[in-house]
Homo-oligomer: A and B are copies of this chain.
Amino acid sequence: MEHDQLPADTLPNPLENLVGFQLRQVSMAISTDLSERLAPLSLTLISLSVLLIIESAPGVTQSEMCRRLGVKRANMTPLAFQFEARSLIERLPTDGRSQGLRLTTKGQDVATKARQIVAAHEALFLSILSEEEQTALRAALISLQSARTRTATTITS
């Protein structure tokens, strides 16, 4: 049992000094944390986005949300079915071909709980940073966001 040559914990990763790499790692860690906090509500980052959009824009259609979130229509169908099966949303025939979605009382309840979880999560990881660091991070992210040209709009925290 001799593996003194290259134990895994001393292996370098030549990319880990890059800001882009660190950004990705931090982003993934934060997403994982939020996902775990949302699991008790049976929400993923994507279904959370959908639920909160319906909450803030009652009557929204699946297609509208797909355009907003950069996902394909075909992938919204099972999500809407799942929410309907869980009695979180109801469909309002709007148009004959499209249906406006809105939260049920139960859906509103879940949305409220979800927003509290999101707020607690955000507050916790922001508390790691000083006021100055928070401000600087926000500014840097805004600069980087306004600079990106194309790139998908995708989802969540």
Contact = CB atoms under 8 A, between A and B. Distances in A.
Interface residues of A, number: 73
B27 A24 contact: yes
Contact of A140 (B21, B61, B65, B129): B129
A13 B116 CA distance: 16
A55 to B, nearest CB: 7
B156 A15 contact: yes
A64 B11 contact: yes
Contact of A122 (B19, B69, B115): B19
A15 B122 CA distance: 11
**Which 4 A-B pairs have CB atoms at the shortest separation, nearest pair first?**
A136-B136, A20-B157, A8-B67, A27-B27
